Structure 1
Amino acid sequence: MPFPIKHILFFVGAILFSFLINHILLRFVKTLGIRNESETHIRWSSQVKPALGGLTFYIVFLLSITLHPFIFSYSGKAIDFQFTGIIGVTSLGFLMGLADDAYNTKPMLKLFTQILCGVLLVYSGTYIQVFESDIVNYSLTILWVVGLMNSINMLDNMDGITTIVSLIIAFTIFIIMLNNNEFDTISMTVVIGLLGSLFGFLYFNWNPSKMYMGDTGSQYLGVLLAALSINYLWNPITTAEFSISRQFLIPILSFIIPIIDTTTVVIKRARKGNSPFVGGKDHTTHHLSYLGFTEKQVAVIITLISIVSSVIVIYVVSTIKVWSHFYTIVFVAYFLILFFTLFYIANKNIDKSE
Structure 2
Amino acid sequence: MDEELHMIILLSLFFAISVFFSFLINWLFLKFSFNLGSRGREEGQVRWSSNVKPAIGGISFFIVFLISISVIGTIPRETETFLDKKLIGLMAASSLGFLIGLADDAYNTNPLVKFIGQLSCAFILIVSDVYIKVFGVDSLDFLITVIWVVGLMNSINMLDNMDGITTTTSASIILGMLLVIFTVDSISTNVYQIMLVGVLGSLIGFLYFNWNPSKIYMGDTGSQFLGVFLAGSSILFIWNFRDFPNSIFELKQFVIPMLFFIVPLIDTLTVTIRRLMRKQSPFVGGKDHTTHHLAYLGLTDKQVAITLMSISLLSIPLGLLIVSGWIKWTLSITISAFVYFFVVFTIMQLLYNKGKKIKESKIA
Structure 1 CA distance for aligned equivalents of residues 18 and 42 of structure 2: 38
> 2:201: which partner in 1?
196
Residue of 149, 152, 156 corresponding to 1:148: 152
1:170-189 mapped onto 2 (5 Å cutoff): 170-181=174-185, 182=187, 184-189=189-194
Give the fraction of aligned pairs with identical amino acids, expressed as a percent: 47
> Is contact 2:184–2:323 with CA below 8 Å preserved after alignment?
no
> Is contact 1:264–1:283 with CA below 8 Å preserved after alignment?
yes
Task: Give unpaired runs (5+ residues) of structure 1.
Answer: none
Structure 2 CA distance for aligned equivalents of residues 96 and 40 of structure 1: 17
Which amino acid in the other structure matches residue 305 of structure 2?
Answer: A
Which amino acid in the other structure matches residue 11 of structure 1?
Answer: F
> Is contact 1:118–1:145 with CA below 8 Å preserved after alignment?
yes
Residues matched between the structures, number? 353
Distance 1:36 1:195, change over 3 A: closer
> Is contact 2:90–2:229 with CA below 8 Å preserved after alignment?
yes
Which amino acid in the other structure matches residue 269 of structure 1?
Answer: R
- What RMSD, in angstroms, separates the aligned Cα atoms of the two structures? 2.0
> 2:350: which partner in 1?
344
What secondary structure sits across from 2:288 in the alignment?
coil
> 2:57: which partner in 1?
53
Structure 1 CA distance for aligned equivalents of residues 78 and 164 of structure 2: 38
Structure 2 CA distance for aligned equivalents of residues 21 and 35 of structure 1: 19
Shift of residue 328, structure 1, vs aligned partner: 1.0
Length-normalised TM-score, structure 2:
0.92
> Is contact 1:240–1:321 with CA below 8 Å preserved after alignment?
no
> Is contact 1:176–1:317 with CA below 8 Å preserved after alignment?
yes
Distance 1:195 1:112, change over 3 A: same
> 2:330: which partner in 1?
324
What secondary structure sits across from 2:200 in the alignment?
helix
1:244-263 mapped onto 2 (5 Å cutoff): 244-263=250-269
Residue of 211, 220, 224 corresponding to 1:219: 224
What secondary structure sits across from 1:305 in the alignment?
helix
Length-normalised TM-score, structure 1:
0.94
Structure 1 CA distance for aligned equivalents of residues 246 and 352 of structure 2: 38
Residues 1:123 and 2:127 aligned together: yes
1:7-18 mapped onto 2 (5 Å cutoff): 7-18=11-22
Deviations 1:289-341 (Å, cap 9, x if unpaired)?
Answer: 11111111111111110011111011111125642110011110000011111
Residues 1:232 and 2:205 aligned together: no
> 1:334: which partner in 2?
340
Distance 1:15 1:239, change over 3 A: farther
Distance 1:176 1:73, change over 3 A: farther
> 2:295: which partner in 1?
289
> Is contact 1:240–1:323 with CA below 8 Å preserved after alignment?
no
Tell which deviates more after alignment, 238-247 or 162-171. Answer: 238-247
Task: Give unpaired runs (5+ residues) of structure 2.
Answer: none
> 1:208: which partner in 2?
213
What secondary structure sits across from 1:74 in the alignment?
helix
> Is contact 2:184–2:324 with CA below 8 Å preserved after alignment?
no
> Is contact 2:322–2:329 with CA below 8 Å preserved after alignment?
no
